[in-house]
Each structure stands twice: as C-alpha cells, then as structure tokens.
Amino acid sequence: DVVLTQTPSILSATIGQSVSISCRSSQSLLDSDGNTYLYWFLQRPGQSPQRLIYLVSNLGSGVPNRFSGSGSGTDFTLKISGVEAEDLGVYYCMQATHAPWTFGGGTKLELK
Amino acid sequence: QIQLVQSGPEVKKPGESVKISCKASGYTFTQAGMQWLKQAQGKSLKWMGWINTNTGKTTYAADFTGRFVFSLETSASTAYLQITNLKNEDMATYFCASTTGAYWGQGTLVTVSS
C-alpha cells in the first residue's frame, strides 16, 4: 500500500500566519492517465472531512483562496496564506492513484 | 443542495450485524460513485472501498473483505454498508462520501460492546 507521511503532526500558528504542511508518498502518484490523484481535506472537531484541494492544486468549491496546493510525483504541500480561526482542525492528504486509496496520518493545526 | 445523510448511531454486541444507510439528494445518484471510510476514535481515516452506483460493482480494500458489504437501493438514492459478525475493533465512525471526495455524510458511530 502507498504510505503518505505528513509533517508536521502538530502545527501551532497565530491568526494571520502563513503555514505549510508536507505530504510525502512512498511511490509516485502520477497516474497513467496523466492525472495525480492527491487530495487535501480538513476535519474540524466533531465534523466530517471537507475537501479543500483536488488533483494536487485545484481549489474545492467554496474553499477560500488562502488555501493552495502544489507538488508532483511524491512530494506535495498544502499552504495556508494567513490562518483564520475557522481553519483549526486536522488536515489530511489522501491519494487515489493506487488502490487501496490511503490517507496521511494527519496534521493538527492549533492556535499558538 | 447536495447532501449525504447517514443513519443514526448504533450500539451492538460482538457477533451481531449492523447496516448503515447513506441517502443522497441534490444530484443524480448514479452519476457519482460512493466510497466508505472508517475512522476510529482519535485516528486517521481508512478507506474501505467503493461501489459504482451505476453498475453496482464493488471494490473492497484488503482489510475489509468478507464481513463488509456495500449495496445500493438506487430507486431511493441510498447506499448501504453492512458489517456482519461485529468485533470490538469495528467500533468506529463510518463515513460515506462521493468518490470525488467533494461530498460527505455526517458519519455514523458504531459502538460494539458486550
């Protein structure tokens, strides 16, 4: 199975600070169809996950543009340009290139 | 608006079965596949597999073969997850979600306790 390693596991930030989360894959996520099926989700406490980014860098519907995704192959990054209070929770990367689809271990974003 | 609404929390004994429903609304049910995911308390998400809502074809992750069954009631725009012979380690919140990840149910907590 593909292993996704997220760092850091805990991220302390102040409101307005810009932060990044890394997601490294144990194998390339470039599919034979030319797409890279790498997603980012935010799970706020007590809620279902919300899709933020799909196919590495595409912003989900209704997601603020302070969120951005980048990367290729095995290395991916989620950036938040100016953390807001509503951004607190656990962030997960997920790959759907190789079955079984797998998730990273999560990065908890908390207020400093 | 598009919604996935899951059935309510369940409390079961080891060895019993549970069937969780996921009712879709706001879109054509057969236009998006449905995946199922497991989240134990305080843990990351685990992908269980998915069902093609057009053909009914199912794909299960290796850890979810045998006791886990995905099914559909297309006329009711509803997907189901059945777990038989429940074990303590099945205690978790189960989510349905579109295979695009864009839409998620609210989760169903399954408690397994003797």
pLDDT in tens, A55-79: 999 999 999 999 999 999 999 999 9
Amino acid identity, position A40: W
What chain A residue is nearest to B100 in terms of C-alpha separation? A54
Minimal CA separation from B52 to chain A, in Å:
15
pLDDT in tens, B34-92: 999 999 999 999 999 999 999 999 999 999 999 999 999 999 999 999 999 999 999 99
**pLDDT tier at A112 (50, 70, 90 boundaries)?**
confident
Q: Is A10 exposed, middle or buried (0-12, 13-18, 19+ CB in 10 A)?
A: exposed
What percent of chain B stands above pLDDT 70? 100
What number is the average pLDDT over the span A82-109? 97
> What would the DSSP string read from start to end of A70-108?
EEETTEEEEEEES--GGG-EEEEEEE-SSSSPEE---EE
Q: Is B104 on the interface with A (CB under 8 A)?
A: yes
What pLDDT sits at residue B52? 97
pLDDT in tens, B69-82: 999 999 999 999 99
Q: Is B41 on the interface with A (CB under 8 A)?
A: no
pLDDT in tens, A31-56: 999 999 999 999 999 999 999 999 99
**Best A3, A6, A43, A101 residue to mutate vs chain B (most B CBs within 10 Å):** A101
What pLDDT sits at residue A59? 98
H or E element at residue A7: strand A4-7
Phi and psi at residue B74, to the nearest 5°: -60, -35
Contact A81, A66 (CB under 8 A): yes
What's the 3-state SS for chain B?
Answer: CCEEEECCCEEECCCCCEEEEEEEECCCHHHCCEEEEEECCCCCCEEEEEECCCCCCEEECHHHCCCEEEEEEHHHCEEEEEECCCCHHHCEEEEEEECCCCCECCCEEEEECC
Q: B100: which chain A residues are within 8 Å (Cβ-Cβ)?
A: 51, 54
Q: Is B27 on the interface with A (CB under 8 A)?
A: no
Minimal CA separation from A49 to chain B, in Å:
7
